């Protein structure tokens, strides 16, 4: 199961690129904070967003998607990057849409098959 939900602020302006395939990808970082206030920056890629949005640095967003590790070649050889591939990015203040996105993510988690544990072998003489 690979489901991620992040809430935080955009660390910088999104970078928009058009791929050779004609798809558009938005790349940005979301800064999240834990209960003690420690900040973590999470790279996010969003392929073919539904409409052109005007996100700016500092905007509070909620991202629902999946973790992906991407490999690429650079001058130093093969490198990798772990990022979140967004399915949905919403303004954190739009509580109704955020609630629906969280419900969809939960339904994905709830629909996963239940793992079965192997039964212990019964030993002669056990009651």
SS (H, E, C) the chain: CCCEEEEEEECCCCEEEECCCCCEEEEEEEEEECCCCCEEEEEEEEECCCCCCCCCCCCEEEEEEEEEEEEEEECCEEEEEEEEEEEEEEECCCHHHHHHHHHHHHHHHHCCCCCCCCCCCCCCCCC
Write down the domain spans for the chain: 4-110
CATH of 4-110 among 3.40.1370.10, 1.10.600.10, 2.50.20.20, 2.40.50.140: 2.40.50.140
Provide the whole-model pTM.
0.76
pLDDT in tens, the chain (127 residues): 788 999 999 998 889 999 999 999 999 999 999 889 899 999 999 999 887 778 889 999 999 999 999 888 888 899 888 999 999 999 999 999 999 988 888 888 888 665 544 454 444 444 4
């Amino acid at each position: 199961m690979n489901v991620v939900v992040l809430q935080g602020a955009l660390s910088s302006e999104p970078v928009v690129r058009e791929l050779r395939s004609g798809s558009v990808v938005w790349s940005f970082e979301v800064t999240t904070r834990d209960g003690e206030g420690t900040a973590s920056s999470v790279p996010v890629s969003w392929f073919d967003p539904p409409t052109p949005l005007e996100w700016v640095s500092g905007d509070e967003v909620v991202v629902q998607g999946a973790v992906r590790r991407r490999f690429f070649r650079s001058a130093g050889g093969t490198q990798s990057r772990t990022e979140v591939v967004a399915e949905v990015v919403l303004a954190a203040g739009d509580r109704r849409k955020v609630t629906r996105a969280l419900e969809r993510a939960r339904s994905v988690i709830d629909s996963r098959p239940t793992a079965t544990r192997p039964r212990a072998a019964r030993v002669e003489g056990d009651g």
